[in-house]
Amino acid sequence: MTTTSNKEIIHELVEKVIDLEHEIKTLQENRKDVLDEYKDRIDLKVFNAALKIARIKSKLAQTSDESLDEVLDAVEDKICVNLG
């Protein structure tokens, strides 16, 4: 059986989690609004892809660009990516 103090702790935790979820939703809406400001000036699909690539490359800081390019070329060959 849950004691009163445990119940209060659980209520507090639930409240904090719900607050965080609302903050996350607000941040997601703000991000969408910022991107909408630029949708007429740049290709957002290209921008989002470039952003993802840059984040991946930053995680591979210890890996040489040549090594990454070599593996990426092989993967693209296999899955028939047509970039041209």
pTM, two decimals, is: 0.64
| Confidence class for position 67, pLDDT limits 50, 70, 90 | confident
Tell whether 34 and 16 lie within a shared domain: yes
Residue 1: the pLDDT is 52
Tell whether 73 and 36 lie within a shared domain: no
Tell whether 47 and 84 lie within a shared domain: yes
Sign (positive/negative) of CA torsion 45, 46, 49, 54?
Answer: negative
Tell whether 5 and 30 lie within a shared domain: yes
State pLDDT tens for residues 8-54: 999 999 999 999 999 999 999 999 999 999 999 999 999 999 999 89
Helix (H) or strand (E) holding 57: helix 44-59
Range(s) of the domain holding residue 74:
43-84
Mean pLDDT of 58-75: 84
Tell whether 26 and 61 lie within a shared domain: no
Number of domains in the chain: 2
User: Which token pair is 29?
Assistant: 């809406």
| Confidence class for position 65, pLDDT limits 50, 70, 90 | confident
